[in-house]
Amino acid sequence: MIKGKIKVAILGASGYTGLEIIRLLINSKNYSISEVTADSKAGMKMSEVYPHLRNYDLPRLKKIDEIKLTGIDAIVSCLPHSKSQNVISSIPKHIKVVDLSADFRFKNTDIYEKTYNTKHEAKGLQKEVVYGLSEINRYEISKSRVVANPGCYPTSALLPLIPVIKNNLINTDNIIIDSKSGVSGAGRTHKDFLLFGEVSDGFMAYGVSNHRHKPEINFQIEEFANSLVNVSFTPHLLPIKRGILSTIYFKIDSSHNIKNIITCLKDSYSKEPFINIHDNYIPSTHDVRGTNSCSIGISFDNTSNTCILVSVIDNLIKGASGQALQNLNLMFGIEETDGLINVPMFI
**What is the rounded distance in angstroms from the CA atom of residue 344 to the CA atom of residue 326?**
17
Residue 185: how many other CB atoms lie within 10 Å: 23
Spatial contact of 260 and 169, defined as CB atoms under 8 Å apart: yes
Spatial contact of 24 and 325, defined as CB atoms under 8 Å apart: yes
Q: Name the DSSP class of 150.
A: P
**What is the rounded distance in angstroms from the CA atom of residue 290 to the CA atom of residue 20?**
10
For residue 31, the surrounding DSSP H or E stretch is: strand 31-37
List all residues 6 or more positions away from 245 whose beta carbon is below 8 Å from its beta carbon.
Answer: 156, 179, 180, 238, 284, 285, 310, 311, 312
**What is the rounded distance in angstroms from the CA atom of residue 103 to the CA atom of residue 241?**
25
160 phi/psi in degrees, rounded to 5: -75, -35
Catalytic machinery residues: 152
* Pairing state between β 306-313 and 74-77: unpaired
